[in-house]
Structure 1
Amino acid sequence: MQELIQIFQAMTVVHERFNEQAVRKEEVIKKGDMEGLEQVMKDESPLIQQLRKLENTRHHLVQQWMDEKGLVKENVTMAQLTPLFPEEEREELQYWQQRLMTEIHQLKEQNRLNEQMLQDSLRFVNLSLDAMSPQNQFSSYSGGGEKDDDDGFDPGGRSLFDSKV
C-alpha cells in the first residue's frame, strides 16, 4: 500500500508541474510567442512520459494487490478498492487521491482556457486574412453578359485557395 501511496504522491507532483506549464502556456499565448509555445510543449514531453510510467506502475501494483487478495475484477476503480485497505492507509490514500483529483481538475480548466484563447487567436487571424484578401468576382457573371475568357480563370488575382492558406 505504501508504494501505491507514493505513486499517487508522484502523480500529484507531475500534475502540479503540468499546471505550472499550463500557466506558462497561457502567458506565451497572450504574447503570441509561437517559439515560446513550442518550448513549453517540448518541456511537457518528459512529464507525459513520466506520467505514463507512473500510471503503468500504478496499474501493475493494483493488479498485483488484487491477485494477492484473490479479487478477480476487470475495470475496477479505486473507489471500489479503497474500503478494502487498512484504515490508516485508506485515509492517506484518499488524501492523495483527492489532491491528485484537484490538480487534474485545475489542469483541465487551465487547458480549456488555453484552448479557447488559441481558437480566438485563430479566428482573429482568419478574419484578418479574409479582410486582406481580394474579393474575386465570378468572371462568368460579368456585367455585360460577355465572358472575359473561355475558362473563367483570372491569372492576375489571388485565388481563394491562396488567400486561405
Structure 2
Amino acid sequence: MSVNQMKQVLEAMIQCHDALYKMAEQKRDAIKAGNAEAVGNITEKETPLVETLSRLEAQRAKVMGEDLGPGSEQASFSEWAAAILPEEKRDEWEKLYLELASRVYALKQANTLNQTLLRDSLLWVNLNLGLLKPQTHTLNNYHNPRVGQAPASVFSGRIDSRT
C-alpha cells in the first residue's frame, strides 16, 4: 500500500510543480511587460500551490518513515527504493523520480530568471530616479573652510610683498 501512496504523492508533486512552472512563465511575461499588478496576482495564486507542495512533502516523509522505520523521514529516494521496491520495478520508479527532479530544476531556473529580471528592473528604476532627482554630495576638499566665519580685516597683520 505504501508503494501506491508514494506513487500518488510523487505524481501530485509533479503536477504541482508543473502548475508552478506555468505561473512562473506568466510571471516572467508580466515582469517583462512591467505589469506589477499581474505579478502580485500571480504571486497570490502561487501561495496555495506552495502550501499543497508542503503537505505533499510531509506525506512523502510520512510514507518513508512508515516504510523505513522511525528517524528515516529524511532518507533519500534511492534509499527508500532500495529497501522497498523489487529490482524489476526500480527503473520505472527511477524515471518517475527523474521526471520530478527535472520539473523541480526547471521551476528553479524560471524562478531564478524572474528574480534576476525583478532585480534588474529595480536597478533601472533607481537609476532613472537618480537621473531625475540627482543627489548633491558635498566633498570635503572643495568647500570653503571659512564659511560662517567673519571676514578677515584688511589689516590682518600680514605683510604683503606684492605691493
> TM-score, normalising length from structure 2?
0.79
Q: Which residue of 1 aligns with 2:159?
A: none
Matched residue type, 1:6: Q
C-alpha distance 139-14 of structure 1, shift in aligned 2 (>3 A): closer
CA deviations 1:29-70 (Å, max 9, x no partner) are 001111100000001011011101111111001100113xxx
Task: For residue 76 of structure 1, report the CA deviation from its aligned partner.
Answer: 1.8
Q: Which residue of 1 aligns with 2:47?
A: 45
C-alpha distance 15-144 of structure 1, shift in aligned 2 (>3 A): same
Q: Distance in 2 between matches of 1:128 and 1:147?
A: 36
Higher alpha-carbon deviation: 133-142 or 73-82: 133-142
Matched residue type, 1:83: A
Q: Which residue of 2 aligns with 1:117?
A: 117
Contact persistence 1:2–1:89 (CA under 8 A): no
C-alpha distance 63-36 of structure 1, shift in aligned 2 (>3 A): same
Q: How does 1:57-136 map to 2 (within 5 A)?
A: 57-67=59-69, 73=72, 75-84=74-83, 85-136=85-136
Give SS of 1:4's match: helix
Q: Distance in 1 between matches of 2:73 and 2:12?
A: 25
Q: Distance in 2 between matches of 1:99 and 1:89?
A: 16
Spell out structure 1 runs of 4+ moving beyond 3 A.
71-75, 137-145
Q: Which residue of 1 aligns with 2:9?
A: 7
Task: For residue 137 of structure 1, report the CA deviation from its aligned partner.
Answer: 4.7
Contact persistence 2:30–2:38 (CA under 8 A): yes
Task: For residue 104 of structure 1, report the CA deviation from its aligned partner.
Answer: 0.5
C-alpha distance 109-54 of structure 1, shift in aligned 2 (>3 A): same
Q: Give ranges in structure 1 of 5+ residues lacking alignment.
A: 149-165
Q: Distance in 1 between matches of 2:127 and 2:77?
A: 48
Give SS of 2:136's match: coil
Query: Number of aligned pairs?
Result: 145
CA deviations 1:60-117 (Å, max 9, x no partner) are 01100113xxx86574211222222113442332121111001011011111111111
C-alpha distance 95-137 of structure 1, shift in aligned 2 (>3 A): closer
Give the % identical residues. 28
